[in-house]
Amino acid sequence: MYCFAFRPYSRKFCQPLRTHHGSWEVREGILLRLSDEMGNVGFGEIAPLPEFGSETFQQALHLCRQFPEYIEKTDILEISEPLPASQFGFESAWLDLTEKMPFETELPHSQLLPTGEAVFSVLESQKPEAGKTFKWKIGVTDIELELQWFDRLLSSLPPNATLRLDANGGLTWETANRWLAACEGRSIEFLEQPLPVTEFDEMLQLCDRYTTTIALDESVATLRQLETCIRRGWRGVFVVKAAIAGSPTRLCQLCENHRLDTVFSSVFETRIGREAALRLAARLQTVPRAVGFGIEGWFADDEERLLRQF
Ligand code: MG
């Protein structure tokens, strides 16, 4: 039996995050704590992302409120599939309590750049270091304009920088082809989710037509979707948002059995969820790639203070 406590949180972005899904202003999630009679404690976090097919914050909150003060391992294992962020949160709290592994990963982080033209003022003011990986969202405004910015961005980046593009499923067949043509001969690490989830076969065709690697993100948000895309023959990169994928144990089995080329990525969770996801990344990323957790400075509040209050 484990004593269970939870605390919902709400964090405001300094600047709303603009993607093809819209503008995101507040990250809501739930911190979880399990403790046993020996005094061992484990923390977990539910950080839902309904735009990617996870449960909503309200559904996760409802689950937490339904649980009694003392829960068992079976309660955690029985959390049902439509609640993948909750499966991750509870199971990683349980793993934290039972395994108590020290946190150490040396993985490099990619830095998320502001969307659109706002990228240039940040690059000018921050003077980013050489050799870093950057990520820039596309498919948000007029393609002509974005392609001009893309050229300017490539010449503004520091030496040996790596750039990944993320369309969040916001391109059409025509604009995806234009983007990939523009990427030819440029060192773009990958283009993430060019087309909507429903256009899987078209994305497979894009892989054959161009040399730039394509990564699936929205298409593989949950373990069930990940399984489906493996079965349907995806051999590109898989972006794994561990915090909304579902059970970490099942995620490990799937990635290891199929030797997937994965890039672990953030859903703007706090350090609790981030550390749980990065432990998985350290174990499961087979190709050296920067992880997508470079989100420092995106929130207005003090994260450590928020965590200390729990
Ligand atoms: Mg993405």
CA 19, CA 14: separation in Å to the nearest integer? 15
Question: Where residue 19 falls among pLDDT bands split at 50, 70, 90?
Answer: confident
Residue ranges, CATH 3.30.390.10, the chain = 2-103+300-308
CA 160, CA 80: separation in Å to the nearest integer? 45
Rounded to an integer, the average pLDDT of 61-68 is: 98
| Model pLDDT for residues 107-162, shown as the tens digit of each residue | 899 998 989 999 999 888 888 888 899 999 999 999 999 999 999 999 999 889 99
- Closest by CA to 59, choosing from 43, 82, 93, 78, is 82
Write the CATH number of the domain with boundaries 109-294. Answer: 3.20.20.120
Mean pLDDT of the chain: 94
7 CA → ligand 1 middle, Å: 28
DSSP character at residue 76: H
Residue 95 has pLDDT above 90, yes or no: yes
Residue type, 140: V
Residue ranges, CATH 3.20.20.120, the chain = 109-294
pLDDT of residue 298: 87
Q: Residues 121, 126, 132, 134: is their CA dihedral positive or negative? A: negative
- Closest by CA to 274, choosing from 24, 26, 5, 44, is 44
Q: Residues 301, 303, 304, 306: is their CA dihedral positive or negative? A: positive
65 CA → ligand 1 middle, Å: 31
Per CATH, domain 2-103+300-308 is 3.30.70.1140: no
Location of structure tokens 């689950």: 63
pLDDT of residue 63: 98
Residue 295 has pLDDT above 90, yes or no: no
Can you read off the two tokens belonging to residue 153?
A: 């961005």
Rg of the chain over CA atoms, in angstroms? 20
The pair phi, psi for residue 109, each rounded to 5°, is: -110, 140
pLDDT of residue 302: 93
134 CA → ligand 1 middle, Å: 13
| Model pLDDT for residues 233-273, shown as the tens digit of each residue | 998 999 999 999 999 999 999 999 999 999 999 999 999 99
219 CA → ligand 1 middle, Å: 10
Residues that are catalytic: 137, 241
Location of structure tokens 């392609």: 147
88 CA → ligand 1 middle, Å: 19
